[in-house]
Structure 1
Amino acid sequence: MSIMLVLWIVWAVVTALLLALLAYRGTLTRYEEDQLFLDPAGGHQQQEQALIVQKCNRIQPFVRIMTGATCVLSATIIGIYVWDAISQFK
């Protein structure tokens, strides 16, 4: 296998993981309220919102890591293609 094939496979896996994490975060935040009017009877809503925020905060580092990895891999792949194009003109 060539290095480009391996890079494309790794990029596809990392990007698929990133998209899965973003979809999961989207399903979590779908039920998040922008504004809560809390009264003594609405304590369970506050707990639900706190749980949603906690889950989102838990996956946020993974989203950042996958985004960074996708960007680095994309730049690497583009760089290799540019380097190959420049070396063919010489």
Structure 2
Amino acid sequence: MTPNVVPVMWIVWAIFALVTALLYAYRSSLTRDEEGQIFLDDAFAHEKAVQTQIVSKVTKLQPALRASLILTVLMTIAVLAYYAWDAGKSLL
């Protein structure tokens, strides 16, 4: 790899890591208002609708969050592999 590739590699890693962090922050802000247990009857129909909406948003977010996390991990492995390869090359 040429030296010009290293900054690009780090920029790509930083973008993946930033997207992952933002998705986790968004999910955290969504689940902040989620109730673990609520008692539902006709008087709590609005709360039930709000909880259903939160669960729906979190469920839709999960595939993007999982893909982003996988890409970040793969890019981290690529960065570490590059530096291990570079260190091994300089030792020989």
RMSD: 0.9
Q: Deviations over 1:8-62 (max 9, x none)?
A: 0011011111111110100000000000111111111111000000000111111
Amino acid in the other structure paired with 1:4 = V
Runs of 4+ in 1 over 4 A off after TM superposition: none
Task: Give the C-alpha shift of residue 3 in structure 1.
Answer: 1.1
The aligned counterpart of 1:26 is: 28
Mind listing any 5+ residue stretches in structure 1 that lack a counterpart? Answer: none
Mind listing any 5+ residue stretches in structure 2 that lack a counterpart? Answer: none
Amino-acid identity (%): 37
Q: Given the two structures, how large is their TM-score scaled by the length of structure 2?
A: 0.94
Distance 2:69 2:6 in 1: 20
**Number of residue pairs matched?**
90
Determine which of 43, 48, 59 is the counterpart of 2:45.
43
Distance 1:74 1:63 in 2: 16
Q: Given the two structures, how large is their TM-score scaled by the length of structure 1?
A: 0.96
Determine which of 48, 51, 54 is the counterpart of 1:52.
54
Determine which of 1, 11, 14 is the counterpart of 1:9.
11
